[in-house]
Structure 1
Amino acid sequence: MNTSRINYREVAPHTFKAMLGLEKALGESLLEPLLHELVKIRASQLNGCAYCVDLHSSDSLKSGDSVRRLLALTTWQETPFFSERERAALLWTETLTLVSERHASEAIYRQVAGHFSDREMAELTFAIATINAWNRLGVGFALQPE
């Protein structure tokens, strides 16, 4: 953690604990672990959170993803390396991460929702919201990869 900024974990342990609880709940979701990691990495790339990109790229590789796919993630729309379900999750990730620019149109929602059950759609949206919150902590408190 960057020592020039506060250690949010120490000064607000109750809210940090709540975030960890949300992360634990997401660990019980129906979403495939690799898909969940792709969502975390893509949102972190868009938000410029180096700490989270590093952490989740490492987790993704440990879970069996390939370096080739991770390197192509920023250009996922132009590569053949992602399934239609993963593409839908990445579209929803970009839509919600950039919500002030993209908005969440009915057309995009329907396109994405066609690949997920109602529960999975809710869990995907919670996953995106959660990584965006973690990204804001990482960027706001200047966390650096170790």
Structure 2
Amino acid sequence: MTTSNSINYQDFIPSVLQQFVAANGEISKTELDPKLHHLLDLRASQINQCAFCVKMHTKEALDDGESQERLQRLTVWRHVGDFTPAEKAALAWTEALTSLDQKTDYSALRTDLRVHFSDAEISAITSCVAMINLWNRIQVSNH
């Protein structure tokens, strides 16, 4: 949803947006599992209350074979058995990087990530989370 006084960023900073799109494309070329990528994009978008991105990433996840049941329970991932330990580690990291809190123990979260992912994969996960947070803020700025 946009308002009548929304800003069409494409009109004013097209080269910046093109670079964001290019960066997003580079993240997609990493070894990050596409299904996990969808979960991370969707969870960050839920936290950021970006309706446009929630709708888009839900559709993309379903199109790539994710189940409706898991997507419906994504907001309560800690309390259900639908997600693997690796997915849970990545979701915890996503939430920590989306809702910054000085009390967060990033070292413990990285330790948990390293049980399941290589440093290259963690770099891709971190880039994915940073990118979706960027896109969410652009979209939310026009709510």
TM norm structure 1 = 0.92
Tell me the amino acid that sits aligned with residue 4 of structure 1: N
Residue 113 of structure 1 and its aligned partner are, at CA, apart by: 2.2
SS in 1 for 2:73: helix
Instruction: Quote the Cα distance in structure 2 between the aligned partners of 1:33 and 1:105.
Output: 24
Instruction: Quote the Cα distance in structure 2 between the aligned partners of 1:47 and 1:109.
Output: 22
Instruction: Quote the Cα distance in structure 2 between the aligned partners of 1:96 and 1:113.
Output: 16
Specify the alignment match of 1:84 in structure 2: 85
Instruction: Quote the Cα distance in structure 1 between the aligned partners of 2:64 and 2:111.
Output: 30
Moved over 4 A (4+): none
Identity %: 37
Instruction: Quote the Cα distance in structure 2 between the aligned partners of 1:11 and 1:40.
Output: 26
C-alpha spacing 1:102/1:128, structure 2 compared with 1 (3 Å): farther
C-alpha spacing 1:38/1:102, structure 2 compared with 1 (3 Å): farther
Instruction: Quote the Cα distance in structure 1 between the aligned partners of 2:60 and 2:106.
Output: 32
Instruction: Quote the Cα distance in structure 2 between the aligned partners of 1:61 and 1:102.
Output: 35
Instruction: Quote the Cα distance in structure 2 between the aligned partners of 1:66 and 1:97.
Output: 24
SS in 2 for 1:112: helix
Specify the alignment match of 2:63 in structure 1: 62
Between stretches 106-115 and 8-17, larger displacement belongs to 106-115
Specify the alignment match of 2:107 in structure 1: 106
Residue 115 of structure 1 and its aligned partner are, at CA, apart by: 1.0
Residue 140 of structure 1 and its aligned partner are, at CA, apart by: 0.5
Residue 104 of structure 1 and its aligned partner are, at CA, apart by: 4.4
Q: CA RMSD in A?
A: 1.3
1:41 aligns with 2:42: yes
Contact 1:29 1:123 in 2 (8 A): yes
SS in 2 for 1:99: coil
Between stretches 64-73 and 109-118, larger displacement belongs to 109-118
* Cα-to-partner distance string for 1:88-131 (whole Å, 9 max, x where unaligned): 11010001111235534311221122211110011100000000
